[in-house]
Amino acid sequence: MSYTHIGKRYIRLLSLVLVIFLAVSAAATFWVRSLEAQTAFSQAILQLNPYHYTPKGEIPITPQGREPENPFTLPPFPADIRGGIFTFASSSQDMFPSFAKELAGQHPSVIVILGAAGSSYSQTKAYVTDFDFVTEYGLLRSDRKIVNNISEEFSLEKNDSVFVQNQEMNFFIPPIAKFLPKARIVSVLLGESFSEDSLRELAKKLAEELPKDSVVISSVQYPKYDNASVSFFQKEKALHALRNFSFDMQEPKMLPEEYLFLQLMEQLRSQKVLYEGNSSNEFLFGDGEKLEQVMISLVNFGDLMLDRNVANHIKNFGSEYPLSKITQPQKGLFVGQDILAANLEGPFADTRRATSKSIAFRFEPELIPMLTQYHFNLFNLANNHSLDMGSAGFEESKKNLANAGIDFYGKPLQISKTDSVFIKEISQKKIAFVGVDDTLTPLRVSDMESLLKDLRSEVDYIIINIHWGVEYKNISNTRQQMLAHTFIDAGADMVIGHHPHVVEEMEIYHNRPIFYSLGNFVFDQYFSKETQEGLSVGILLDGKSISVYPFPLKSVESQVDLMDENESKLFMDDFLSKSKLDGNEYKDFHFEIEE
């Protein structure tokens, strides 16, 4: 073979290699430019009109708009993260990108996102999408198989418009796309009235469908009411429900996304709290058992009187008149408490009887349904007006309360386990309510010490309601203080006083709260500002601490309401200045007292 022939073959081979190289280069350049064009097109859509879909079944996600202000470092965890629940507070915005980055080390194949559908959509439906999500970091794909399986079985509506500009999607998707681009997404947005039965069944189905390495995330919104102190009170209850997977709480009622998240974590057996963020704005869960901690909630009011001018107002304006303002839903105080109590300053006697007393009260039994309507379930009867209609009237009152399902305790002139004590079991904890009176005749201290020491071995908590002190005095006297200290030394956990018709100071003695007088709740003493102010006390018991929330009240013509923010601040500044708190701090509208 000649050198000329070999040279020609070599040249042809080089030419072929060159052609292949140029073809591959052109294809690669085209692919890169096509990808750049697609990304640029998606970004243009995001910038120009985030409400329009891309033409390929994709949902544009609005960029978060800011990097975390305070980059967050998560602590090491003893187990993999299986779920996270977040508020939309700034701390969560700083923390969630760190969470997504941490999650990248687990390589979850599927991430479930739960959120609210928003008020523009049906509140009885749940929505899913099998569209992919376009983000500033690239495309994040939906898991179409799981989405189709759950949507078919539960008739979940595929409505992609629900997911456009959705708060949860804009919050969660970008960091996931940045740090977990290979994860597939199952997103469910829920109407506020989607049924709990359906949520439980949906949780079971999702647990069956999800790979074992899946992670579930959800938003949560803590309750907000007109009154900030009530909001904090109800938030503490909501946090307990989160930590302990308490599904049966009446108020604040769980939102569907929170309920579904907890049900799903229960199905996946991932109920152990691995992390709780500042202000409890974030929770992370891993494999393990839930906390077994109970919480008991009580709200106690002062003197409740339904005769004289109060009865006249009720006659003119209806039975709901005295409580129509304070019981409005946005006030948030009258629903969901284990105990809603007051001092009943008079009997629900069947008839009015002649009496030598200059001031003698009798309440119409027809008013009892109004009290049950507002969820009152416990009254103290140990006071100087319970016998105004005689012993027969007192017994009639107890009968009428019992027939309405309202519990009671205490009897004037008596200190005994039979007459003075009511024991109620709540969440497997026994609470002894003890009612005594020190106004008609001074009580015998030794009798109380004996009673309390006897009860201490039988119950978990002892709460005393006592009628005592001097009317219209806003500072307790030495006898009140002596009695309160004696009761606590003998085993009482809390002392709540009434009778002065004005609010007196509080004291924390040996880590036990004393309220010397809650003042009037519903009354007709219009002659002074002080007699038209009162205090309600919210109490949360969890076995570790006693949370005490004072709620200042105001009354106009026997119609009671919570004080507004400015009124509450002025009232509490004065109240705290004369109280003995033993170094305990009033923070976030309450005292946290170690048991």
E strand intervals along 213-317: 215-219, 272-276, 282-286, 296-304
Residue 209 vs residues 9, 107, 158, 202, 267: alpha-carbon distances, Å: 61, 18, 18, 11, 12
pLDDT for residue 14: 60
Q: Where in the chain is the domain with CATH 3.60.21.10?
A: 296-594
Give the tens place of pLDDT for each residue, 153-172: 998 999 988 998 788 888 89
Q: How confident is the model at residue 105 (pLDDT cuts 50, 70, 90)?
A: very high
**Percent of the chain's residues with pLDDT above 70:** 88
Residue 251: the pLDDT is 62
Residue type for position 367:
L
Section 534-562 average pLDDT: 97
Per-residue confidence (pLDDT) for residue 63, from 0 to 100: 58
Is pLDDT of 532 > 60?
A: yes
Candidate ranges 58-62, 221-225, 442-446; pick with highest mean pLDDT: 442-446
593, 545 Cβ separation under 8 angstroms = yes
Q: Is 105 left (phi over 0), alpha (psi -120 to 50) or beta?
A: alpha
Q: Which two tokens stand for residue 200?
A: 């439980």
**For 50-54, 268-272, 352-356, 368-372, which range has the lowest pLDDT when averaged over its residues?**
50-54
**Secondary structure string (H, E, C) spanning 288-340:** ECCCCCCCEEEEEEEEECCCHHHHHHHHHHCCCHHHCCCCCHHHCCCCCCCEE
Strand 506-509 to strand 512-515: parallel, antiparallel, or no bridges (unpaired)? antiparallel
pLDDT in tens, 128-141: 999 999 998 999 99
Return the pLDDT at 78. 75
Residue 505: band (very low, low, confident or very high) from pLDDT cuts 50, 70, 90 = very high
**β-sheet bridge partners, residue 58:** 54, 132
* Residue 358 binned pLDDT confidence (cut-offs 50, 70, 90): very high
Whether the predicted pLDDT of 333 surpasses 70: yes
User: What torsion do the CA atoms of 352, 517, 410, 559 make, to the nearest 10 degrees?
Assistant: 40
User: How high is the pLDDT of residue 303?
Assistant: 98
pLDDT at 48: 35
- pLDDT reading at 54 higher than 60: no
Give the model's pLDDT for residue 87. Answer: 87
Q: Given this model, what pLDDT does residue 70 score?
A: 59
How many Å apart are CA 59 and CA 46, to the nearest integer? 10
3 state DSSP class of 339: strand
Of 50-64, 250-264, 293-307, give the range with the top mean pLDDT: 293-307
Tell me how far apart the alpha carbons of residues 3 and 217 are, in angstroms, rounded to a whole number. 73
Region 486-499: mean pLDDT is 98
Architecture category of domain 81-220+255-286 in CATH? 3-Layer(aba) Sandwich (3.40)
Q: What is the pTM of this model?
A: 0.87
| Poorest-pLDDT segment among 41-45, 313-317, 344-348, 463-467 | 41-45
- Report the largest interatomic distance among the alpha carbons of the chain, rounded to a whole angstrom: 144
Averaged pLDDT for residues 533-556: 97
Q: What's the pLDDT at 65?
A: 45
How far is it, in rounded angstroms, from Cα 205 to Cα 225?
Answer: 35
- Domain boundaries for CATH 3.40.830.10 within the chain: 81-220+255-286
pLDDT higher for 122 or 494?
494
Q: Please state the φ and ψ torsions of residue 269, each to the nearest 5 degrees.
A: 55, 45
State how far the Cα of 84 lies from the Cα of 265, in Å rounded to an integer.
Answer: 10
CA-CA distances (angstroms) from residue 478 to 383, 415, 483?
20, 22, 9
Residue 518: DSSP 8-state: B
Give the model's pLDDT for residue 57: 65
Span 366-378, pLDDT tens digits: 999 999 999 999 9
Q: What percent of the chain has pLDDT over 90?
A: 75
Question: Domain 296-594, what architecture?
Answer: 4-Layer Sandwich (3.60)
pLDDT at 390 (0 to 100): 97
Least confident of 40-49, 288-297, 521-530: 40-49
Please give the pLDDT value at position 98. 87
Residue 181 has a pLDDT of 96
pLDDT in the model for residue 582: 96
Looking at per-residue confidence, does 27 or 228 come out higher? Answer: 228
Segment 427-432 shows an average pLDDT of 96
pLDDT at residue 6 greater than cutoff 60: no
Mean pLDDT, range 84-109, rounded to an integer: 87
Lowest mean per-residue pLDDT among 152-156, 228-232, 250-254, 498-502: 250-254
3-state secondary structure at position 121: coil
pLDDT-derived band at 73 (thresholds 50, 70, 90) equals confident
Q: Range with the lowest mean pLDDT among 51-60, 217-226, 240-249?
A: 51-60
The more confidently predicted of residues 254 and 52 is: 254
State the average pLDDT for the chain. Answer: 89
Enclosing H/E stretch for 574:
helix 565-577
The answer, yes or no, to whether residue 535 has pLDDT greater than 80, is: yes
Q: Report d(CA 338, CA 376) in Å as an integer.
A: 10
